[in-house]
Amino acid sequence: MPEAANTAACDGRTDSPQPAPETLDGPDLGPDPDAVTVENGGCNDLVHHKPGQERPEEKEMVDAVASAVGAVSDSIPAVQICVRVRPMLQWEKAEGYEASAMELKEGINGTVALKEDGRHRHFGFNAVIGGDRTQQEVWEMSRLDAVVRKVALGFHATVFAYGQTGTGKTHTMEGFTYEHHCGIAPTMAAARPRVKAKATPAEQLGIVPRAVVALFDRVEAIKAEKDVAAPATSAPESFAPATSASSFSSTSSCVVRLSFLQIYNEKIFDLLNPSSTVSQREAGGRGEEFSGLRLRWDAARRHFFVENLFQYECSSAEEALQHYQQGIQNKQVASTTMNVASSRSHTLLVLTLLRREGDEEGNRTPGRQGRQGQGRPCQEVISQLSLVDLAGSERSIAGVSGRDAGKSTTRFQEAVNVNQSLFVLRRVITALSKREATGRNEIVHVPYRESKLTSLLQNSLGGNSYLVMFACVAPSERQDDENLSTLQYASQAACIRNQPVVNLDPKDQLIQQLEARLAVAHEYLRRTLQVAELPEDLLEEERRAAGAPRRPRPRLKAKAAPKKRTAHGQAAQEHDGAHAQAAQAAPATGTGQSRSARAKTWTGLEQRWGFQDEPRDPVGERKQKNQETASESSRESSKSTTKPVKRMSGREASSATSTLSRVVQGAAQKSPSCDDWPFAVRSKKSETKGQELFAAVDAMMRGYDGPKPSPRKPKPRPASLPPVVPEVSASQWPPKPPKESPAASAQSSETALDGMAGSKCSCCGSDRPPQTDAEAEKGAVSMEDALQLQKALDVQRRLEEELLAAHGRIQNLEVQQTKLSGEQAMMQNLQSENTELQRRLEVFYKAMEFEADERDAHPTEQQDLTPKGVVPPSPEIEAVASIRQKIEKFHSQLVLEAVTLRNEVARLKKKKWIIKAVLDNGGEHERQAIVEEVAQLRSKREFDGSTAT
């Protein structure tokens, strides 16, 4: 079965009988990114994709957009898996724990070999770190300096530690000393251990404090205009120009914010908000249950975030570390049978680096130049470094009674929650590795939303973030089973494929994408028209849309000095000149207004047809056209110094406009950010900017349209008169699509044009002077072109309409999505309300039961309460009353039982589903753990039942 084969390949392990095989599990991620050895079903081949190497499926435009927005290729892999084996602890030695038979080949690209059922399993990882390595060596071997550097460049990165309880995750991440580290065997009876952060020697500090310091070093370097960006060699570092020292100006800013939370019993607590910590909540005394901070979905950035989470802006590493230490004090820690200071929650420290270039007013950074020599508006890059210390998975706690029974229940509850969220994490890892192995992105469901932890880590696992995973392993033989499970999941995690990108603000990303698309469209036009430079009017329109001042246009020589003036041309000039004077004399009249409007239209037409001239009224334009037509041959022969602008044929124009529309439309469909537009564009200024850019593209798309025949009723034209260029009034623009066939359309348009041409003036109705034959011939050619261009225009208009409709559909979808998320939130609320109600119902029934018991226990007291003088009830009545009481009691008991059973059934159904999923995935360990858990639940229920009876 191919799927199974693939899965096994990506499972990252190779089982083989002794002697040990040469093939290693896991990815071979050597320091040379170009040297790829794919032993794991193609894991991480993205990481090794050679910079500049073209993927066959990538198209030209996608390449251009990607290079502008930024993809990544660097010497550090996007996903790194490091295995750390802790040394044997004092108490373990004292208890006589045997060392594991695990074989390590330490170092970068090291291996771990573990025996199972007489067979060796070999795993390969990016780094294998032995028990005697210092924290500094761990930092260096996991190349975290480079990861922090990436964060400074605008990428997200996540570092997390995974492993069984007591394997050294917290030691790796925090490194702080805890009380009770006195070499005694851990016990659940011990008091809550306290962290002694200040007393921790510097060399023992873990990854979090080191990362904080390293990040602030980078920030200082940025501020001091030192080297931040790697030499801007490749496109992926496309943000490098913005981050390079030269571009960092007084209008740039760099801010670090810190937040710290814990997920305890599947609830989110803010470790930096005193009123939100677990202990504060417990001491609050109001008795209400805290449901934890809420997760929300940010549609623009496409990630989950925690609502109302405190974020502290830190100006130095010391300040950030102070917050961190304060948060650590609030973390849930307890002594268990496996670890004296066991983290009972998952903690997430998030350092957000916000880099802004340019100020809010839109002042541009001098060093930053746009594509056409213009500055760019304010740009924002937000990158996050997430440092996660997971709580450890553990086998259920059993055999605790007496004084520690309460603690046991709490620990048990915690362990169940931790196991459950880790179980979801493992399912996410398995699904992602399966997805990479099969390459069926759509089919494999990744259950991110099934736990808060995986929801928050969505971008880190299979997303756009760098990822470093520390798989922590214990050195004793007793934990070999758990170690094997950890190594298997670590190996699967190596198959996850992340695609780090610079996290530009969505609006900036949109601008970059639009610019890239514009560049592609320009290039396409240049190639299609076979010109070195695009027509000036296009660029001018684009500049205008971008807010740049209008450039003076050069006048054509032909207009300034026509060599030959025909009698007709002269007559026409005089005629039109008279009209121009009349228009000047009465600018407010309707004639003057329509003329200026027409002049505008004609200007556009003239420009689109390749004449570069100042706006004129239509008559003037026609006059110039006639002059130019007349002097064309002489201009050519005299090799005019005026820059030649290639005139498009109708076919070329049609093809250019439709292809341009296709390119832009295709780009809009390709880009997710564009889909979000205009929702993603928050800043008003940037929104305007985005619209302007769209307008520029739109203007380009409208760039080559020809004149339109007048809708005036055609008059029969004397056969002796040659055809001339028609007049078009502003109210008749844009032209309507022709309904008849192209041939018929050409015929009828020509007839119409012929009919109106030259016979009467559109303004005054006076007779027009006739044209010469040469002018008439030129005019006829222009008409053909005009008709073809009109067709092109129709195609373009249709495409535009489709584009608009697509945008409308996207907007509708967005609205629906928003509605759906609202409904989802409502459902969640209802569910929590339902749970709350059920809980209250249980309490109520218990209270009823208690009351009934009380009544049963003290029947005489009730008799004593009978007022004197009142005749005591007869034995029959008493018997009936007691039976009624019993019935009531039974009834309430039954109701209670029914509720409990219903809950139990629901829980068991859930468990059944989980077990099914586990069995499907072949997770032997989970199956065992769940069976144990179910047994525990059952025994607990039995115990509760026996206590109750």
Give min distance, CB of 336 to ligand ATP, in A.
7
Handedness of CA 136, 141, 142, 144 (dihedral sign): positive
Q: Which of 48, 120, 156, 169 is in the footprint of ligand ATP by CB under 6 A?
A: 169
Chain residues 415-474 in contact with ligand ATP, contact rule CB under 6 A = 472
- Residue 296 is classified by DSSP as E
Q: Which of 27, 168, 358, 618 is in the footprint of ligand ATP by CB under 6 A?
A: 168
Q: Which bin fits 692, alpha (ψ -120 to 50), beta or left (φ > 0)?
A: alpha
**Residue 342 touches ligand ATP, criterion: CB under 6 A:** yes
Judge whether 479 is annotated as a binding position. Answer: no
Kindly list the distances between the CA atom of residue 504 and the CA atoms of 70, 155, 372, 782, in Å, as whole numbers in the listed order. 9, 9, 21, 48
Report residue 760 as tokens.
């009467």
Q: Which of 55, 181, 886, 912 is in the footprint of ligand ATP by CB under 6 A?
A: 181
Alpha-carbon gap, residue 764 to 543, rounded angstroms: 38
**Residue 332 touches ligand ATP, criterion: CB under 6 A:** no
Q: Which of 20, 202, 46 is nearest to 111 (CA)?
A: 20
Alpha-carbon gap, residue 241 to 252, rounded angstroms: 13
**Residue 86 touches ligand ATP, criterion: CB under 6 A:** yes
Alpha-carbon gap, residue 25 to 431, rounded angstroms: 18
Count of positions on this chain that bind ligand ATP (CB under 6 A): 20
Report residue 662 as tokens.
């296709």
Could you tell me which stretch among 160-168, 634-642, 864-872, 921-929 binds ligand ATP (CB under 6 A)? 160-168
CB proximity list for 587: less than 8 A, separation 6 or greater = none
Report residue 316 as tokens.
């130095």
461 CB burial (10 A radius; 0-12, 13-18, 19+): buried
CB proximity list for 923: less than 8 A, separation 6 or greater = 426, 430
Could you tell me which stretch among 86-94, 363-371, 540-548, 792-800 binds ligand ATP (CB under 6 A)? 86-94
Give min distance, CB of 320 to ligand ATP, in A.
22
Kindly list the distances between the CA atom of residue 277 and the CA atoms of 264, 285, 908, in Å, as whole numbers in the listed order. 10, 14, 32
CB proximity list for 405: less than 8 A, separation 6 or greater = none
Query: What is the number of the residue whose Cβ is closest to ligand ATP?
Result: 392
Nearest CB to ligand ATP, comparing residues 8 and 88: 88
Which residues are 261's β-sheet partners?
270, 348
Q: Which of 167, 276, 627, 673 is in the footprint of ligand ATP by CB under 6 A?
A: 167
Judge whether 168 is annotated as a binding position. Answer: yes
Alpha-carbon gap, residue 296 to 306, rounded angstroms: 6
Could you tell me which stretch among 169-177, 427-435, 534-542, 578-586 binds ligand ATP (CB under 6 A)? 169-177
Residue type, 650: G
Nearest CB to ligand ATP, comparing residues 480 and 542: 480
Residue type, 932: E
312-314 and 253-264 beta bridge pairing: antiparallel
**Residue 170 touches ligand ATP, criterion: CB under 6 A:** yes
Give min distance, CB of 340 to ligand ATP, in A.
6
Nearest CB to ligand ATP, comparing residues 87 and 738: 87
Give min distance, CB of 826 to ligand ATP, in A.
36
Give min distance, CB of 459 to ligand ATP, in A.
24
Give min distance, CB of 111 to ligand ATP, in A.
20
**Residue 93 touches ligand ATP, criterion: CB under 6 A:** no
Helix axes 684-701, 773-857, angle to 10 degrees: 140
**Residue 341 touches ligand ATP, criterion: CB under 6 A:** yes
**Residue 193 touches ligand ATP, criterion: CB under 6 A:** no
Per-residue mark of binding to ligand ATP, 465-494 (x: CB under 6 A): -------x----------------------
Cβ density class 831-852: b for 16+ within 10 Å, e for less: eeeeeeeeeeeeeebeebbeeb
**Residue 26 touches ligand ATP, criterion: CB under 6 A:** no
Which residues are 195's β-sheet partners?
178
Q: Annotate 227-258 with three-state secondary structure.
A: CCCCCCCCHHHCCHHHHCHHHCCCCCEEEEEE
Give min distance, CB of 61 to ligand ATP, in A.
49
* DSSP output for 841-892: HHHHHHHHHHHHHHHHH-HHHHHHTSPTTSPPPPHHHHHHHHHHHHHHHHHH
Residue type, 785: D
Nearest CB to ligand ATP, comparing residues 24 and 211: 211
Could you tell me which stretch among 142-150, 223-231, 337-345, 428-436 binds ligand ATP (CB under 6 A)? 337-345
Chain residues 680-709 in contact with ligand ATP, contact rule CB under 6 A = none
Give min distance, CB of 495 to ligand ATP, in A.
24
Judge whether 170 is annotated as a binding position. Answer: yes
Could you tell me which stretch among 40-48, 340-348, 355-363, 587-595 binds ligand ATP (CB under 6 A)? 340-348
Nearest CB to ligand ATP, comparing residues 170 and 419: 170
Nearest CB to ligand ATP, comparing residues 182 and 857: 182
In 644-697, at which residue ranges do the beta strands (DSSP E only) sit? none
Nearest CB to ligand ATP, comparing residues 183 and 587: 183
Alpha-carbon gap, residue 423 to 493, rounded angstroms: 14
Judge whether 167 is annotated as a binding position. Answer: yes
Give min distance, CB of 469 to ligand ATP, in A.
14
**Residue 89 touches ligand ATP, criterion: CB under 6 A:** yes
Give min distance, CB of 146 to ligand ATP, in A.
22
3-state secondary structure of 131: coil
Alpha-carbon gap, residue 84 to 792, rounded angstroms: 66
Nearest CB to ligand ATP, comparing residues 190 and 230: 190
**Residue 624 touches ligand ATP, criterion: CB under 6 A:** no
**Residue 339 touches ligand ATP, criterion: CB under 6 A:** yes
Q: Which of 61, 104, 391, 583 is in the footprint of ligand ATP by CB under 6 A?
A: 391
CB proximity list for 236: less than 8 A, separation 6 or greater = 51, 67, 70, 71, 72, 73, 74
Give min distance, CB of 168 to ligand ATP, in A.
3
Alpha-carbon gap, residue 664 to 802, rounded angstroms: 12
Q: Which of 110, 163, 327, 779 is in the footprint of ligand ATP by CB under 6 A?
A: 163
CA-based end-to-end distance of the chain? 55
Cis amide linkage into residue 678, ω under 30° from 0: yes
Nearest CB to ligand ATP, comparing residues 185 and 905: 185
**Residue 102 touches ligand ATP, criterion: CB under 6 A:** no
Q: Which of 200, 262, 277, 343 is in the footprint of ligand ATP by CB under 6 A?
A: 343
Nearest CB to ligand ATP, comparing residues 21 and 130: 130
Nearest CB to ligand ATP, comparing residues 260 and 677: 260
Could you tell me which stretch among 14-22, 82-90, 227-235, 538-546 binds ligand ATP (CB under 6 A)? 82-90
Nearest CB to ligand ATP, comparing residues 65 and 348: 348
Q: Which of 453, 208, 221 is nearest to 323 (CA)?
A: 208
Report residue 775 as tokens.
């002018």
Nearest CB to ligand ATP, comparing residues 99 and 847: 99
Total Cβ atoms within 10 A of residue 112:
27
Give min distance, CB of 283 to ligand ATP, in A.
24
597 φ/ψ angles, rounded to the nearest 5 degrees: -65, -40
Nearest CB to ligand ATP, comparing residues 4 and 182: 182
Cβ density class 389-406: b for 16+ within 10 Å, e for less: bbbbbbbebeebeeeeee
Point out which residues bind ligand ATP (CB under 6 A). 86-87, 89, 163, 165-171, 181, 339-343, 391-392, 472
Binding residues are 163-170
Query: Which residue ranges are tagged as binding site for ATP?
Result: 163-170
